[in-house]
Structure 1
Amino acid sequence: MKESKAKKVLHGDKNQKVTHNGQLVWLEHVNESSGEALVSVMDTGEKKTVPVSELEHQGQGLR
């Protein structure tokens, strides 16, 4: 995913499915200058910083 898309997902008014290495994650913050995002893994709550390029947008769907 590109940083601009990640920012749109983060600040959008609709919930979006985003995955990192097959795990569903919640975007917490996007740092455009470093190209990284702070995410929370939905199943475990673990927070980690990952490259935005490793995130995959799966579309709408979280309720």
Structure 2
Amino acid sequence: MSSKTVYTEDEVTAAANTAAYRARVATVLTLLAEDYPGGVVGATLTDIMKDYGIIQPPEGEEESDG
């Protein structure tokens, strides 16, 4: 027998609003990174993508922690 979690309307609304907020923030950050590729936003997003293996650092570039 499986149990089902039932969420209230307020919980569903809060989750949907949070997801929409995060999507908008991600979109804005992506636009900033595209407009200012040499800026801190672009560098930070590149670092995050490297951390998660989405992109690979150029050959010969070493990882640094600071």
Q: Name the structure where strand makes up a greater proportion of residues.
A: 1
What is the TM-score of this pair, normalised by structure 1? Answer: 0.26
Q: Which has the higher helix share?
A: 2
When normalised by structure 2's length, the TM-score is 0.26
Q: Computing the radius of gyration over CA atoms, which structure comes out larger, 1 or 2?
A: 2
Structure with higher RCO (Cα < 8 A, 6+ apart): 1
